[in-house]
Copies of this chain bind each other. A is one copy, B any other.
Amino acid sequence: MSQAVVPDLRNCSDCPIRHRAVCARCEPTELALLEKIKYYRRYSAGETVMWAGDHMDFVASVVAGVAALTQTMEDGRTQMVGLLLPSDFVGRPGRSTAAYTVTATTALTMCCFHRGPFERMIDTTPHIAHRLLEMTLDELDAAREWMLVLGRKTAREKIASLLAIIARRDAALANAAQGRGLVFELPLTREAMADYIGLTLETVSRQMSALKRERVIEITGSRQITVPDMDRLLLEAGDDSDGGYLN
């Protein structure tokens, strides 16, 4: 279960809120206020952070780990509508119920802010609203890019697109030095991948095998992926451009 953790400045220097999400240009007094209304929650892989429709008295930013936003139909069909990586923002100022189910797909740490005070800060601190607008626009672009994947790409292209996105974001966050031979850990099960790209898990597995057989990727122990040639992968993904806004 989640447990609130006492604010801790050491920890906070790792908190992407400080760096990217909200307070890149905050004044010391504003930062102090953010410190006061923030707390941490931790979840383990597979745990559900919140269910669609739940009351939500906070907004949050992912500090570490990966979470999935999903929507489910009555009969159980599930579609992932967003993948939350470190620095991504969860929750909507001005709305008190969750629109989507949020699930931790790996161990997850979130930095939460009480919603009331946070909304008041937005009103009085223009650059926070500005930053939120930018982040939301980025998410909208990502969602629209994904609509093309869901609507028009083949199974193989979908897999390649998903791998490319994760590889790229991973590279942006961590090992920026990919001297031809990018390695990363897949933070998703085959089923979660299937839910992301609108396929069945069997098809995902088959296409992964096919990409492996044809040396587009290497797979170690089903979760560690090596991409010998990123351009090749992007070609398989059907991306005309380099596909890449990295923020």
**Residue A25 at the chain B interface, CB threshold 8 Å:** no
Nearest-neighbour CB distance to chain B for A198, whole angstroms, equals 3
Residues of chain A whose beta carbon lies under 8 Å from any beta carbon of chain B? 69, 71, 73-75, 77-79, 81-82, 92-94, 99-100, 122-123, 126, 129-130, 132-134, 136-137, 139-141, 143-148, 150-153, 197-198, 238, 240
Q: Is the CB of B74 within 8 A of A141?
A: no
The number of times this chain is found in the oligomer is 2
B126, B134, B136: the one within 8 Å of A140 (CB): B136
If A99-B141, A123-B126 touch, whether A73 touches B147 (CB-CB below 8 Å) is: no
CA distance in complex: A151, B134 (Å)? 27
CA distance in complex: A40, B100 (Å)? 38
Q: Is the CB of A73 within 8 A of B238?
A: yes
20 CB < 8 A contacts A-B: A71-B147, A73-B238, A81-B144, A81-B147, A93-B133, A122-B130, A123-B126, A129-B129, A129-B130, A133-B136, A136-B136, A136-B137, A136-B140, A139-B140, A143-B143, A143-B147, A146-B147, A150-B150, A150-B151, A152-B198
